[in-house]
Structure 1
Amino acid sequence: MLPNDSSGRKQAGTFPAPRSPVARGATLDTSPRDSHLWAPGLCMAKSPENSTLEEILGQYQRSLRERANRSIHQLQCALREGDVAVGEEAPGPTCSSGVENEDPGMAWHELQHSHAVNQLKALLHQQATKESEVSPSRRRNVSPLRSSEYEEANMPTVYNLVPIINDQSQYIHHLEAEVKFCKEELSGMKNRVQVVVLENERLQQELKSQRQEEAMREQTLLDASGNLQNSWMTTGEDSGADETAKRRFSQGNADAVKGPSAGEAEKWKLELERLKLTYEEKGEILESQLKFLRKDLAEYQKNCEDLKERLKLKESLLANMSNRVGGLCLKCAQHEAVLSQTHNNVHMQTIERLTKERDDLMSALVSVRSSLTEVQQREASAYEQMKQAVQVTEEANFEKTKALIQCEQLKNELERQAERLEKELASQQEKRAFEKERMRTEVTKEREDMESKMFSLSQNIAQLEAQVEKVTREKISASNQLEEVQNQLASKEMDVTKVCGEMRYQLNKTKMEKDEAEKEHRQYRTKTERDLEIKDQEIEKLRSEVSESKQHLEQEQQKAARAREECLTLTELLSKSEHQLHLTRLEKDSIQQSFSNEAKAQALQAQQREQELTQKIQQMEAQHDQTENEQYSLLTSQNTFLTKLKEECCALAEKLEQISKKSRSEIAQLSQEKRYTHDKLEKLQRRNDELEEQCVQHGRLHEIMKQRVRNQITGSLSWTLSTSNVNGWFLVRGEKLTNPSGPLADRFRN
């Protein structure tokens, strides 16, 4: 059913429109119109994860291109078949003129069919010419009277819409990533500002603590000075100076303005005003940008609403056109029947594909609208965050200027204190020189007195050494006596231990005898108990026999007599055993009493001996302690006297050394503190310079990010407007293709 090459060339000349979508699809990636959409994709393609996403998107775009090419090829085939049918119908007027008298309505149908075909040709030709001439900016500014004509030619193909929608989602993701980056930068700025504030507070506390330490050192220096009157005077002056310094420190900015740093304070004020002006200008620029973006969004929303209305109108037109039925002549009907039988399924498939693509486009529009609302909300939140960040930076700069002013005030105060301390040091050095001379005279006098005392003490020491020798001799004799007494005590203790061992041996013997007697007594008792039990059993037996055998009374009486005799013998034996037990008990008691009496007597003797020995030992120890205490008291009194003299001499020498060391250490400390404060001030100035540079860099970075966001938003809005115009053209073209009046429309319906 395809035409020849010659007919294909002619149709290519008459119908250039089908070529244009393919050409545009081939040059879609390199066209300048979509360059701003591919910019975020290129930026994101730098990472390996986004490269995989781009590969997936490329595959999806290729599949969509293949589908679009197939649908376009089918449409081209259908249009070519329609042209062939028109060419074959060229001699139709002759036959229609012959049949005109029979059916006058057939001519009207033929004219209607040719009119629809010519209209399609004109529309396709207009589209091909306007794509090369009209730009998207001029299409937007077309008058409302001519807009209805241009809308029919401004609809894009499915091939162009699907990659645009995919790129739009990619672009939205890129914007979200940039917004996250801005938020992270803002949070970093907040954290740095907090760090700066904490450092300023810490420095203020350190300066306060240094001031307190200096005041305490001044008080200690004044207390260490010589005379009480001078110390009271100096402490009064220092207290007055401290009160004046505190008042100056509490006054703050007023004192700084009155001092020599008034010019620097004015400079800082000018810098503060300049910073305020710059931040106000930045805020105005941001507000103007937001207004511009809001206007663009409003225009975009209006365009979306217009597109909705157009879709509704075209759907209603489609519904109305589907209800109409067009007539055909016999030849056309026959030809149409043949074509409908051969190409019915193809057209149905194309119509279904077009409806599916239209549904996909509608869902894409809904997703784009939702993403636009989300982007608006994110822009509002980003604007609020930027406002907060600007406020925080202003507060940080204000606090920084405060800290710098305070640092300058502290510099001035430190310089004043250094001058005052130098003056005090000079006065104290003069006082110390006078005191040194006075102390030297006193020390020389005291040395002479001490030398005379030492001569007298040396004589006393010689006498005391002679006495100590005598005491040592007596001590040696007393120690010898003590050794003799200790030897006697040791011998007596040995005797006592021997006696105790013998007594213990005797006690053990008596215990053994007692245990043996108790065992024998137990054995006798058990034997007697057994005999009694046996006899009781026999008595019971006899009683039973007596009760049973009343007839044998005589025999039983004899047996009873015998039993009575035996009982008497047994009772005698029992009485004897009891008597023996009583005797053994008496013997046991007597043995115990004698043993206890002997033990008591021996214990009393041992106690008496121990008491006598302890009394002797105590007497000897008391005598020895008395002699030792007397000697020790003499030695301690002599030693204390000597140590006191030595301590007084050492104390005087140490006082002189301490005074000299204190003066040197105080001078060194003051010089070190001066260096330390100077180094600290330099470090603080460096930190402030670094913080200022960081603030300037962050401001530049924020401006760069804002410009990026602004450029991307403007590009996205221009792209969305161009896509809206292209969508309108596609819908108009689809309506013209699906709902024309004539045999070609009927063929599409079938």
Structure 2
Amino acid sequence: MYAYTDENAVENYHRSVRDRANASLHELEDILQGTSPHTTLQSQAKHQLESVLHPRTLKWYEENNRPTKYKDAASQLNQILGHEPQRLPPSGSPGQRSGLPSPEELAVIVQTQTDYMYQLEAENRYCKDELFAMRARLSELIEENKRLHEELKSSVLQEIMGDEKEINKLDDLFMEETGGRIFQQRELKNIQVEMERLNSLHAAKCNRLEAQLEHSRSEIQKYEQMIEDYKSQLRVHDSIPTRDNGFLPYADGHNSFHVHTINSLTRERDELMDQVTSLKTRVHEMSHREDEAYGQMKKGIELVEQAQLEQTQALVQKEQLAEELNNMKERFDRSILDTQARLHEERESVRRENKLLVDELNAKLRETLEKNAAWSAELEKLSRDKVALIGELDETKLQLKRFDKESSIAHDTFRQESTHASIQKSHAVLELSKTKKAFEEHAIETKQEKSRMSMEIEDLRRRLKKAERDLVNSKEECIHLTSNTQALERELHLAKLARDSIERGRNEDMKAVSIRAKQREEQLGSFIEDVEEKNARTTHDMDVMLKKQNRLIGKLREECKQQAAQVEKLVKKNRSECGNLRKQNDELRHRLERAVTHMTTLEEQSEQHDRVHKKMTERLKMLDDHGQNQSQQILELIACQSRLMKDRQLLVREVEFLRKEIAKSNEEDLNKFLSSNKPLVDEIISTVNSEEKEAYFSGTCDLTHKEGKFIELRHKGNRSIETIEKEIQRAKSIVNKYSSAEIKFIDCPVLSISTWNKRKGHKHPENFFLLLTKQITTLNKNIWKLNSTLRKNSIKVSRYFFRGRKRRGRSWTRRTVNLTTNNKDGVHPGQSLSLAITKHILQDTYRECYQEVNEKDILVIDIEIEETNSLL
């Protein structure tokens, strides 16, 4: 490269740019870390002291030349970040936490955040591509500049070592070079337009322009020196003594030659004067171009600073987005857990209600089936009674007909006998007349009784028909009910079989009654034949026969009275039974109506419950899908954030490396700075002295597993602990491969699966008491031993769960396990406990990374005194 005359000014300018970038980075780090006003004041005092003690800081640019719009960039960012925490709800207020946004709003927020992250990634990739392209172009320009410089050197040497005869050739070469420079200037203008459009690395272009200006200045000085030499030669030539007319005293033959040389010299002098004037105009143009290049360089530097500020603003916004994403992730997790718990409770309540409704419906169905069976049995019984009554009525009718026939036959015979015996026995006539009158009265009574019985029988028939219609209606209703249930159909089938058996029994009874009636008729026929034989045989047995007849009439009267009384009893019994049947039918009808209405209401309720259940299942599916989409979006956002954090770390390392390498202005470092390749990145990574530390947190899922809604131990022995120790040893072996990496293992917090199982409705949750706690304590002891072998202090998270109490008069301390710091489910840690563990881990990480603890540099996590007292 070329040695510049204003090298100190350029170095001072680079130092000022570096110091301003460092100051803005420190301010942004303080803003991102969220330090208190006291710590920010201390950090500002520290930076002021460093700026006073640092000999290379140039405040003239900060105070005079730096634009005010870029001075206020850090203050604007500070104001933005100062307003940002006010929008975030405090983590300690449960009242504000309950006002979470709806899932639709959260989805919109997540979508906007993802779009913004994708935009940031696209801009970052675009900046990287443009940086690589500009570096390649700058390397090409530097190589071209070197080549031109070598050509110029060779041309200058040829000019110095050349003869006077080659002046015309030099003029031609000079014209070619000026034409080449004009072409190069056009190319530079095009490159400047492209670089203004890309807004990156204008300093290299300015260096090239300055180098060309220096080269042109050196050329101008050389040409001026040549002109001065020619002038001195002319003056020497003029100072030579001459004769008249200014000619040398030579022979006359040489006069023409001298005149020719003088004319050529005058022409050359005129041409040189023209060239001098043209060179002066070119020098003026080059100075004007130099001023324009300087202004463009200043504009490029301002654009670079603006790009750096925009980059820092983007980084700040990225950090804010990362914090917002973490908060949103926590809110999503809490909302998902709450919704899952509520859904589980609602499912259980709905299941219990449906189970109770189903049990009630089954009980009511059983009652209706039993009632229907009883009603069918009563109906069968009534039908049997009706058939029996009809048979008895038929028998009574037949008996009455027989009695009428017998009485008419006996009356005729008695009348004939009385006419024959009237002559002999008048008193028999009188008695016969009396008996006749009595018999007529009895016949009248029997007729009246027949008419009354026929009327009653007709009434009974109408009632029976009405009862049959009611029975048919009730049977139709029963059939309608049995069509709804298969069980009733089977019972009706059995009832039909029983009815068939009853009809078969009734037919057998009818056959037996007909046989008895035939036997009775045969007996009466034999009795009548005997009487006729006795009447035909002797007449003197008439008195005996009359006496016997009178006795028979008395017996018949008694039997008729008995039968009439029996018929009245049967009629009364049938009337009472019919009334009872009507009442029972009315009650059964009302019950059936009530049962039908209740069944319809129950069916409507069951349909409503089915619709509600379907809606709830659809809602659950939608919530599950929404939760899966949200979790996938959160995972994608976390992956994007991790990629951006890696890019940010790489950019920070490159900035640190560039800040160290800008001070070195030799050619090799500049070539390394302008070349972007893998060896340079490796060199940057190798120069970073910060050690990477990672902390692995062993999870309780390695010790337990979930069966349904309950949590049980994976293994009752130490098998789970052995598997965790194998994984820890594997992580240790992986870390040991890298000399600059270190690892520390954090112990596991104490949990209670008995509380979880008790909340989930386990029958015997006491069986799980302190089982997981014992395995966690043994695992933590092994982790502490492993950290001691690694020469690391253990982060004892489990100390927040143990409570010590020392009684008076005793030297030992009683220790108990306190699981109230967790949530109500006993598995997830509470908010205060999470804050305390985070503070502990951050303090330990700071100690391990910087080997000292300063109160102003530690990230302070405010925890209230009551919460800390409740924890410890």
TM-score, length basis structure 2: 0.26
Larger Rg: 1
Higher helix share: 1
Higher relative contact order (CA 8 A, sep 6+): 1
